[in-house]
C-alpha cells in the first residue's frame, strides 16, 4: 500500500489487523481471486503482500503454495478518496506531509491507461529527495489489473527513464465486461452537457476522445463541444467529478442606445494642479467650470444594438432582444444634428446638465465672493460675481465681467466690458484689463487698469495707472483724479484733477496708450542696444591694442574672443539701425494723427499736474477752474469746461451727473 494510505491507516487503525486474511494458493492470481470471492470484493479493490513465494516443484513433488496477505476491501472503501489524494499529492513522503511541504520533495508516480490503441504507461520522475518508482510498483499494478500481455522490458526501461511521457507497453485485449462506461446528461435548458464516467475494472478500456464526442453527438449535442476540456479530463482520469463537455452560447441582448458625453456633466469636484517649474500647488485653480466654444461637440448618441442570437448545445437558436432606442435631449445654446446623433455648442459658455439634457449658458453666476470656495474663474462667456473678488484671485471671461462688490488685489480680464459696482482697492497690485470693451467702477485706488475703449469712474481715481484707448471720465459728485499716471487716446475729464498739496499727477491724451507704450518700449530697447554697443566697442578696442602691442599676434583664446566680439558688433549695429527705423516710423505715424486730445476739469485743475497732448508737455503751475485744455499745432488752448458725452449704454451703467454751468 502507498505511504499516504499507510500514514492515514496507521493513525485510524492503530495497528488493528482486522480486515486482513492470509491465503494459500498455487499462484498470486488464484490467491487474489480466492480472497476477492471470500471478501465479496473486486480484485482491483484489494491490496496484498506476498509473504512467501510459491514453487511448482518437479512433477508435482516439492510443490510449495504462495502465501499471500490480502487486506479487506473495507479498508479501501473506508478511504475511497485516498487514490485521488494520492494522485494529486504525487506520493508525498510522511515527513513532507507533517510539515505541509509538497513542492520540494515529491515521490515519483505512474499511470496505466488502457485505450483501443494499446496499453500506455506514463512514469513521472521524483522531485528532490522523493522516492523513485521501481519495477515492482508497476508490475504489482499490472498484476492487480490482470494484465498478461504487457512488455516487461519496456516497463523496466521506462521506469528507469521516467520520461513523464506515455509509452506503449502492450496491446489492448477487448474485455467489454471490464471497460469503463459513460452517460450523457443535458441540462433542462439545453445549455450544458455533462458526461458521467464509471471507471474501468482491471484491464478494462478507458474512454477516449472519439468515444466522448460520438456519445455526445448520439445524444443530440452538436454545438459548443469543449474539445480541449475533454482531452484534459481524459488525460487526468479523475472520474470523481463529471466532465463539463459542452456549453451553449447564451443570446447577447442588444444594448440600449445611450449618450456619450464629450464634456464633464457631473458636478465638478475641486482638482489641484502642480506647477511643473515651482512644484507648488495653486489652491485657487479649482477647475470647477466646463467651458465650451461654438461648434464644439458636446455629446454623441451611440445607437442601440440589434443583439446576437444564442445557440444551445443541441443547436437550437435562442433569439436575442434588440436594444431600445433613446432620443437625445438638448437645451438652449446647443444644436442637435438632423439625424439626432450629435449635439454641438451654439454659443460660447459653460455646460449645464439638468433634467437629463445639456445646455450652454452664456453667463456664469458666482453667488458670493470669488474665494477659496470658488477658486479662480475662467469662463468663455460672461461672469457675474454676487460678492467681491478677494486678494490674489483671478477672473477671466470671454464676455463681460460684473462684480457687485469690490475688487481687491486681484486680476480681472475680459474681452467685453468690466463693471465693478463698489470700487477697486488694489494696494498697487490689482490689474484690471478689458481687451475689447470699457471699464466702469465706483472708484479706483492703487490699481492698474487697461481698457480698449473707455474707463468711467463715479467718484475718484487715486494713485493708479490707468490706460484707455478712448476716454477716462470721472464724473460723480466727488469725482477727482489724484496721483498716478493716466493715458487716454481722446480725453481725460474729471471734477478735480490733482490736489492742494500739488500731488504729482501725469495726464496724457491724444495718443493711444498702446502706441505710447510701444514708443517707450522701443526707447528702452534703443538705450540697451546703445549701452551694449559701447561695451563691445571698448572690448574690441582693448583686444586690438593688445594685438598691436604683441606684434600682430594674440593667444588663440583671445583671438577667438576678438572674432566673436567683432561679429557681435556687426549684429548690434544692424539691430540699432532696425530700432531707429521703427522709432522713426512711429514718429511719422504720430505726426499723421488727427489733432485731438483734451483735458477737462470742472471744479479745479491743481498745480503739480503734468499734461501731455501728443508729444507736447504742459506743467500746471497755477490752479484752473472750469477749464478745458487742448493743443492746436504747437500752441496750448485754454477754454471753458466741456462736460463728457456718454453713450446710452454707458449712461445706464454709470449715470452722469447734471453739470452746473458757471
Q: What is the DSSP letter of 43?
A: G
Residue 80 CB burial class (10 angstroms; 0-12, 13-18, ≥19): exposed
Say which residue, 239 or 46, is predicted with more confidence. Answer: 239
**pLDDT surpasses 60 at 7:** no
* Least trusted range by pLDDT, from 386-390, 517-521, 590-594, 600-604: 590-594
**pLDDT surpasses 50 at 358:** yes
SS3 542: helix
Question: How many alpha carbons lie under 13 Å from residue 358 in its C-beta half-sphere?
Answer: 31
Instruction: Average the pLDDT over 322-351 and give the result.
Output: 90
**pLDDT surpasses 50 at 310:** yes
Residue 115 CB burial class (10 angstroms; 0-12, 13-18, ≥19): middle
Find out whether 216 and 225 touch, Cβ atoms under 8 Å: yes
Return all residues near 60 (Cβ < 8 A) that are at least 6 apart: none
User: In this predicted model, what pLDDT tens digit does every residue of 100-144 receive, in sequence order?
Assistant: 444 578 888 898 888 888 889 999 998 888 888 888 888 888 888
Instruction: Average the pLDDT over 246-263 and give the result.
Output: 92
Find out whether 590 and 615 touch, Cβ atoms under 8 Å: yes
Phi, psi of 210 (to 5 degrees): -65, -35
Q: To which H or E segment does residue 142 belong?
A: helix 135-144
The pLDDT assigned to 193 comes to 95
Instruction: Average the pLDDT over 176-183 and give the result.
Output: 88
pLDDT-derived band at 277, boundaries 50, 70, 90 = low
Instruction: Average the pLDDT over 347-366 and give the result.
Output: 86
pLDDT-derived band at 448, boundaries 50, 70, 90 = very high
Instruction: Average the pLDDT over 245-260 and give the result.
Output: 92
Distance from C-alpha of 193 to C-alpha of 224, rounded to nearest angstrom: 9
The pLDDT assigned to 520 comes to 81
User: In this predicted model, what pLDDT tens digit does every residue of 45-94 receive, in sequence order?
Assistant: 666 677 777 776 655 566 678 787 877 543 333 334 434 433 443 333 33
Least Cα distance to 259 among 346, 189, 356 occurs for: 356
The pLDDT assigned to 393 comes to 95
The pLDDT assigned to 35 comes to 79
pLDDT-derived band at 9, boundaries 50, 70, 90 = very low
Using the structure block, give the residue that is written with the C-alpha cell 493513525.
Answer: 11
Instruction: Average the pLDDT over 337-341 and give the result.
Output: 91
**pLDDT surpasses 90 at 266:** no
The pLDDT assigned to 352 comes to 83
The pLDDT assigned to 91 comes to 38
Angle CA(90)–CA(93)–CA(95) in degrees, nearest 5? Answer: 145
**pLDDT surpasses 70 at 615:** yes
The pLDDT assigned to 14 comes to 41
**pLDDT surpasses 80 at 292:** yes
**pLDDT surpasses 60 at 174:** yes
pLDDT-derived band at 656, boundaries 50, 70, 90 = low
Number of separate helices (H) and strands (E) present in the chain: 12, 37
The pLDDT assigned to 37 comes to 76
* Least trusted range by pLDDT, from 85-89, 225-229, 621-625: 85-89
Instruction: Average the pLDDT over 484-510 and give the result.
Output: 92
Q: Looking at the DSSP assignment, which residues form a beta bridge with residue 432?
A: 412, 449
The pLDDT assigned to 76 comes to 35
Q: What is the DSSP letter of 383?
A: E
For residue 54, what is its C-alpha cell? 510459491
Instruction: Average the pLDDT over 180-199 and give the result.
Output: 92
Cβ neighbours, 10 Å, residue 625: 11
The pLDDT assigned to 407 comes to 96
Distance from C-alpha of 273 to C-alpha of 284, rounded to nearest angstrom: 10
The pLDDT assigned to 658 comes to 52
Instruction: Average the pLDDT over 491-520 and give the result.
Output: 88
Distance separating the N- and C-terminal Cα atoms of the chain: 131
Instruction: Average the pLDDT over 244-270 and give the result.
Output: 84
* Least trusted range by pLDDT, from 69-83, 283-297, 437-451, 499-513: 69-83
Say which residue, 126 or 287, is predicted with more confidence. Answer: 126
SS3 348: coil
The pLDDT assigned to 100 comes to 40
Helices (H), 501-640: 513-549, 556-592
**pLDDT surpasses 80 at 361:** yes
For residue 328, what is its C-alpha cell? 437625445
Find out whether 251 and 270 touch, Cβ atoms under 8 Å: no
Say which residue, 546 or 103, is predicted with more confidence. Answer: 546
Say which residue, 448 or 569, is predicted with more confidence. Answer: 448
Say which residue, 556 or 652, is predicted with more confidence. Answer: 556
The pLDDT assigned to 657 comes to 55
Mean pLDDT of the chain: 82
For residue 529, what is its C-alpha cell? 542696444
Angle CA(219)–CA(223)–CA(226) in degrees, nearest 5? Answer: 95
pLDDT-derived band at 281, boundaries 50, 70, 90 = very low
Phi, psi of 115 (to 5 degrees): -130, 175
**pLDDT surpasses 70 at 336:** yes
* CA distances, 349 to each of 379, 386, 639 (Å): 7, 19, 49
DSSP per-residue codes, 6-36:
HHHHHHHHTT--TTEEEEEESSHHHHHHHHH
The pLDDT assigned to 23 comes to 80
**pLDDT surpasses 50 at 280:** yes
pLDDT-derived band at 335, boundaries 50, 70, 90 = very high
Q: What is the DSSP letter of 127?
A: B
Find out whether 384 and 368 touch, Cβ atoms under 8 Å: no
The pLDDT assigned to 636 comes to 92
Amino acid at each position: 500500500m502507498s505511504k499516504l494510505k499507510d500514514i492515514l491507516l496507521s493513525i485510524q487503525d492503530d495497528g488493528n489487523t482486522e480486515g486482513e486474511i492470509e491465503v494459500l494458493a498455487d499462484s498470486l492470481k488464484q490467491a487474489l481471486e480466492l480472497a476477492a470471492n471470500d471478501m465479496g470484493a473486486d480484485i482491483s479493490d484489494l491490496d496484498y503482500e506476498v509473504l512467501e513465494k510459491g514453487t511448482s516443484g518437479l512433477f508435482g513433488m516439492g510443490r510449495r503454495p504462495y502465501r499471500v496477505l490480502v487486506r479487506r476491501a473495507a479498508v479501501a472503501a473506508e478511504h475511497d478518496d485516498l487514490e485521488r489524494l494520492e494522485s494529486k499529492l504525487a506520493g508525498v513522503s510522511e515527513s513532507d506531509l507533517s510539515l505541509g511541504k509538497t513542492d520540494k520533495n515529491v515521490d515519483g508516480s505512474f499511470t496505466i491507461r488502457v485505450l483501443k490503441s494499446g496499453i500506455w504507461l506514463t512514469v513521472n520522475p521524483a522531485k528532490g529527495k522523493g522516492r523513485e518508482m521501481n519495477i515492482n510498483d508497476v508490475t504489482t499494478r499490472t498484476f492487480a489489473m490482470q494484465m498478461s500481455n504487457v512488455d516487461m522490458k519496456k516497463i523496466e526501461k521506462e521506469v528507469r527513464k521516467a520520461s513523464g511521457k506515455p509509452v506503449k507497453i502492450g496491446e489492448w485485449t477487448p474485455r467489454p465486461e471490464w471497460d469503463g462506461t459513460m452517460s450523457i446528461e443535458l441540462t433542462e435548458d439545453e445549455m450544458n452537457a455533462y458526461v458521467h464516467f464509471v471507471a474501468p475494472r482491471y484491464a478494462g478500456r478507458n474512454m477516449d476522445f472519439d468515444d466522448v464526442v460520438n456519445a455526445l453527438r448520439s445524444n443530440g449535442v452538436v454545438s459548443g463541444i469543449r474539445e480541449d476540456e475533454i482531452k484534459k479530463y481524459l488525460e487526468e482520469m479523475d472520474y470523481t467529478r463529471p466532465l463539463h463537455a459542452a456549453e451553449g452560447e447564451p443570446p447577447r441582448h442588444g444594448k440600449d442606445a445611450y449618450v456619450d458625453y464629450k464634456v464633464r456633466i457631473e458636478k465638478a469636484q475641486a482638482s489641484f494642479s502642480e506647477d511643473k517649474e515651482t512644484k507648488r500647488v495653486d489652491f485657487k485653480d479649482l477647475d470647477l467650470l466646463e467651458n465650451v466654444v461654438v461648434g464644439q461637440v458636446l455629446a454623441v448618441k451611440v445607437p442601440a444594438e440589434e443583439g446576437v442570437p444564442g445557440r444551445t448545445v443541441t443547436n437550437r437558436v435562442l433569439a436575442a432582444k434588440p436594444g431600445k432606442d433613446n432620443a437625445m435631449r438638448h437645451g438652449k445654446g446647443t444644436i442637435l444634428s438632423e439625424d439626432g446623433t450629435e449635439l454641438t455648442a451654439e454659443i460660447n459658455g459653460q455646460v449645464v446638465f439638468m433634467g437629463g439634457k445639456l445646455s450652454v449658458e452664456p453667463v456664469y453666476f458666482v453667488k458670493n465672493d470669488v474665494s477659496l470656495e470658488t477658486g479662480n474663474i475662467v469662463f468663455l462667456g460672461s461672469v457675474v460675481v454676487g460678492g467681491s473678488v478677494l486678494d490674489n484671485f483671478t477672473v477671466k471671461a470671454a464676455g463681460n465681467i460684473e462684480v457687485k462688490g469690490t475688487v481687491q488685489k486681484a486680476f480681472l480680464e475680459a474681452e467685453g466690458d468690466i463693471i465693478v459696482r463698489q470700487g477697486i482697492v488694489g494696494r498697487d497690485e490689482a490689474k484690471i484689463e478689458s481687451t475689447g470693451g470699457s471699464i466702469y467702477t465706483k472708484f479706483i485706488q492703487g490699481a492698474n487698469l487697461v481698457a480698449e475703449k473707455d474707463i468711467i469712474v463715479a467718484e475718484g481715481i487715486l494713485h493708479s495707472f490707468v490706460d484707455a484707448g478712448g476716454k477716462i471720465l470721472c464724473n460723480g459728485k466727488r469725482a477727482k483724479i489724484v496721483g498716478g499716471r493716466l493715458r487716454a487716446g481722446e480725453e481725460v475729464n474729471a471734477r478735480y484733477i490733482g490736489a492742494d498739496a500739488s500731488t504729482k499727477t501725469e495726464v496724457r491724451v491724444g495718443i493711444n496708450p498702446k502706441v505710447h507704450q510701444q514708443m517707450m518700449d522701443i526707447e528702452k530697447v534703443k538705450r540697451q542696444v546703445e549701452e551694449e554697443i559701447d561695451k563691445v566697442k571698448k572690448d574690441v578696442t582693448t583686444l586690438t591694442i593688445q594685438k598691436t602691442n604683441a606684434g600682430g599676434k594674440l593667444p588663440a583664446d583671445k583671438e577667438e574672443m576678438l572674432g566673436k566680439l567683432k561679429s557681435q558688433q556687426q549684429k548690434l549695429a544692424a539691430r540699432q539701425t532696425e530700432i531707429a527705423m521703427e522709432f522713426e516710423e512711429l514718429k511719422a505715424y504720430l505726426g499723421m494723427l488727427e489733432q485731438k486730445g483734451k483735458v477737462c476739469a470742472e471744479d479745479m485743475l491743481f498745480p503739480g499736474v503734468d499734461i501731455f497732448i501728443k508729444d507736447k508737455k504742459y506743467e500746471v503751475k497755477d490752479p484752473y477752474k472750469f477749464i478745458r485744455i487742448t493743443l492746436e499745432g504747437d500752441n496750448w488752448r485754454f477754454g471753458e469746461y466741456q462736460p463728457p458725452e456718454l453713450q446710452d449704454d454707458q449712461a445706464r451703467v454709470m449715470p452722469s451727473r447734471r453739470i452746473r454751468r458757471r
